[in-house]
Chains A and B, each alone.
Chain A
């Protein structure tokens, strides 16, 4: 389904990802960079906050320099190094073979894992959304809305935009009127 030219390195990467997501289709590889960017921003905020806290309480409590910044930065860097790849490889989706499928399956989560199945005929409507960072990487999010109160929105981020649009068109054909 990917329109991009597949280089061997990326392909290897994809194979590795499949080992962790029960053999489902992994997300578009640039999504990993996007996750890394997001985690990086989070880490930066964490470190800035720790700097602010340390300078804020310096006058009140005589702590050794860096006794707050140090551990927080170490933790942030640990997250930055460890997390993105692990989050990425747990993601997976499946819509069945080539337009013949009946349901959307979305696998996500590193610590808290969730495996969601939405039958196509239960989908109320579909969005393809793209944020500013996603646009930089040529990624889109497929969002399906169901009538269920739990899981009323199921989002699948990290698809290449043509993929997301193709999936939307596949699913669109299955939407039925007035299911409830």
Chain B
């Protein structure tokens, strides 16, 4: 295998010397993938050991060996049939054992490049390169894995490519030194451990609780048989008269204690998750080639992502009622590519004060909410119409259940109060404003989201009316932007149809 740096000194027609210039992934990636595949097959082996082989260790061992050889063989075969080539304008990837796939990704179309190093890859000095074009879900080009230096060289090649002007090989060669230059400049945004801790506090999640539950379920042979049977607990408690025996204040204290421990678990798991993901968060501006953002983060899995600034479609500021009180915002950039692991937007500053957000926004041509900008409310029908529907449904259900099943079900109607309160709050926080250049949309009360969208980035505008909108002459404006979630597009709900039409005229 040729270990020279990934620099293409390729003539104009790469097809001419097919095969020669194509390189393979790093050989250690065979090991990496085999280990992963074996991990996936451990359960399968366990099942075989207990069922087919009747707990016979010799046969099971032989089968495991055969499986191991098979996995390593297949992985090696796949590895040997996976080649890539970096041309002056595009990267080509040939893959596939039986059905061959020859993919060409023009540098023009690459939305962002990210380098990912899982723990094992870090030990082996490897990195996975992910290229996103935004064409489909997931990565469009994934090189798993290259030597770190090769991966960085590839990243720099793509970054330095300017549409129309192919990167010159000599220019690419000093890529690493330029990376060091960047190192010396202060970052646009970075988070120390204290900041990550704060971010974690607001990243409340019950993942840990779920994990504990799963562990408890898997290790349930250690627990008493009746552990998951609520009647068992009810009996135990009523027999011992434990709760009733306690004073009223002790009962209250117990309930508060339970609540506090639940919140503590939620916060704890939020902090742990945030530390794992955001540790060492650092956002830089890179000026070589196309100006872009470079983001590095991660405790175990290091990721290093470069995204050209002109790909930014919109800025999103997320916060919550408590977070906003303390002035913390989460800045994200929406682009055609998605930010790994299900996040639809690129996180640029997970926990920042407004005065830290502004310098980042200054690098793009998006400006923050100008002082004294007047936001428009939407029609109150947004809440009262849904409130009527929910009241009717809840009323029907509670009366039905109350009459025929249990009178206590009448209390279900009380559920309407918090639901309607949430609707009113959501309505109060749904506001929009328009300047000559940008559209601002606030949405959500608990999960607050401010979208700042430059008008030039708008792809389509819909004015829609549901059957309930016609009698009130209301309409919903839906804006089509590249990237973001297809399930929750940018919407301005329930404004008068004349306003909606006028707004659309200004948007397009």
Q: Which of A116, A152, A180 has the most CB of B within 10 A?
A: A180
Interface string of A155-180 (1 = CB under 8 A from B): 00000000000000000000000101
Interface string of A102-113 (1 = CB under 8 A from B): 010000010111
B465 adjacent to A112 (CB under 8 Å): yes
Give the interface SS of chain B, mostly helix, strand, loop or mixed: mixed
B462 adjacent to A147 (CB under 8 Å): no
Q: What CA separation (Å) do A180 and B337 show in the bound complex?
A: 11
A149 adjacent to B489 (CB under 8 Å): yes
Q: Is B466 an interface residue (CB 8 A)?
A: yes
Q: Which of B311, B313, B462, B464 has the most CB of A within 10 A?
A: B462
- B470 (CB) vs chain A CBs: closest residue: A113
A150 adjacent to B465 (CB under 8 Å): no
Interface-lining segment among B178-186, B216-224, B276-284, B479-487: B479-487
- A148 (CB) vs chain B CBs: closest residue: B480
B313 contact set on A, CB distance < 8 A? 180
- B483 (CB) vs chain A CBs: closest residue: A149
B480 adjacent to A149 (CB under 8 Å): yes
Q: How far is the CB of B456 from chain A (nearest CB, A)?
A: 9
Given A114-B464, A180-B311, A180-B336, is A150 in contact with B163 using a C-beta cutoff of 8 Å? no
Q: Is B76 an interface residue (CB 8 A)?
A: no
- A180 (CB) vs chain B CBs: closest residue: B482
A117's contact among B134, B457, B461, by CB below 8 Å, is which? B461
Q: Is A35 an interface residue (CB 8 A)?
A: no
Tally A residues with Cβ within 8 Å of B. 22
- A103 (CB) vs chain B CBs: closest residue: B508
Interface string of A3-41 (1 = CB under 8 A from B): 000000000000000000000000000000000000000
Q: What CA separation (Å) do A118 and B479 show in the bound complex?
A: 11
Q: How far is the CB of A93 from chain B (nearest CB, A)?
A: 14
Given A180-B311, A180-B313, is A150 in contact with B464 using a C-beta cutoff of 8 Å? no
B374 contact set on A, CB distance < 8 A? none
Q: What CA separation (Å) do A178 and B481 show in the bound complex?
A: 15
- B501 (CB) vs chain A CBs: closest residue: A115
Tally B residues with Cβ within 8 Å of A. 31
B482's contact among A112, A117, A148, by CB below 8 Å, is which? A148
Q: What CA separation (Å) do A15 and B292 show in the bound complex?
A: 54
A151 adjacent to B480 (CB under 8 Å): yes
B508 adjacent to A117 (CB under 8 Å): yes
Q: What CA separation (Å) do A126 and B479 show in the bound complex?
A: 20
B466 adjacent to A112 (CB under 8 Å): yes
Q: Is A89 an interface residue (CB 8 A)?
A: no
A119 contact set on B, CB distance < 8 A? 460, 508
B478 adjacent to A150 (CB under 8 Å): yes
A154 contact set on B, CB distance < 8 A? 460
Q: What CA separation (Å) do A118 and B482 show in the bound complex?
A: 13
Given A117-B508, A178-B108, A178-B163, is A146 in contact with B480 using a C-beta cutoff of 8 Å? yes
For window 454-508 of B, CB contacts with A under 8 Å fall at: 457-467, 470, 478-486, 489-490, 504, 508
Q: How far is the CB of B47 from chain A (nearest CB, A)?
A: 41
A116 contact set on B, CB distance < 8 A? 460-462
- A122 (CB) vs chain B CBs: closest residue: B459
A147 contact set on B, CB distance < 8 A? 336, 459, 482
Q: What CA separation (Å) do A114 and B489 show in the bound complex?
A: 15
Q: What CA separation (Å) do A180 and B461 show in the bound complex?
A: 17
A150 adjacent to B467 (CB under 8 Å): no
Q: How far is the CB of A22 from chain B (nearest CB, A)?
A: 10
B481 adjacent to A148 (CB under 8 Å): yes
B460's contact among A109, A112, A113, A151, by CB below 8 Å, is which? A151
B484 contact set on A, CB distance < 8 A? 149-150
A118 adjacent to B163 (CB under 8 Å): no
B480 adjacent to A150 (CB under 8 Å): yes
For window 93-150 of A, CB contacts with B under 8 Å fall at: 103, 109, 111-119, 122, 146-150
A148 contact set on B, CB distance < 8 A? 459-460, 480-482
Q: What CA separation (Å) do A167 and B467 show in the bound complex?
A: 31
Q: What CA separation (Å) do A26 and B230 show in the bound complex?
A: 64
B163 adjacent to A112 (CB under 8 Å): no
Q: What CA separation (Å) do A144 and B486 show in the bound complex?
A: 17
B482 adjacent to A149 (CB under 8 Å): yes
A149 adjacent to B485 (CB under 8 Å): yes
A149 contact set on B, CB distance < 8 A? 480-486, 489
B481 contact set on A, CB distance < 8 A? 148-150
Given A103-B508, A119-B508, A178-B108, is A151 in contact with B459 using a C-beta cutoff of 8 Å? yes
7 A-B pairs (CB sep. < 8 Å): A111-B466, A113-B464, A113-B465, A114-B463, A115-B462, A146-B460, A149-B486
Which A-B residue pairs are the 4 nearest by beta carbons? A148-B480, A148-B459, A150-B489, A151-B480
Instruction: Beyond A150-B484, A151-B480, list 6 extra A-B contacts (CB 8 Å).
Output: A116-B461, A149-B485, A149-B486, A150-B489, A151-B460, A152-B480
Question: Chain B: residues with CB nearer than 8 A to chain A?
Answer: 108, 134, 163, 311, 313, 336, 457-467, 470, 478-486, 489-490, 504, 508
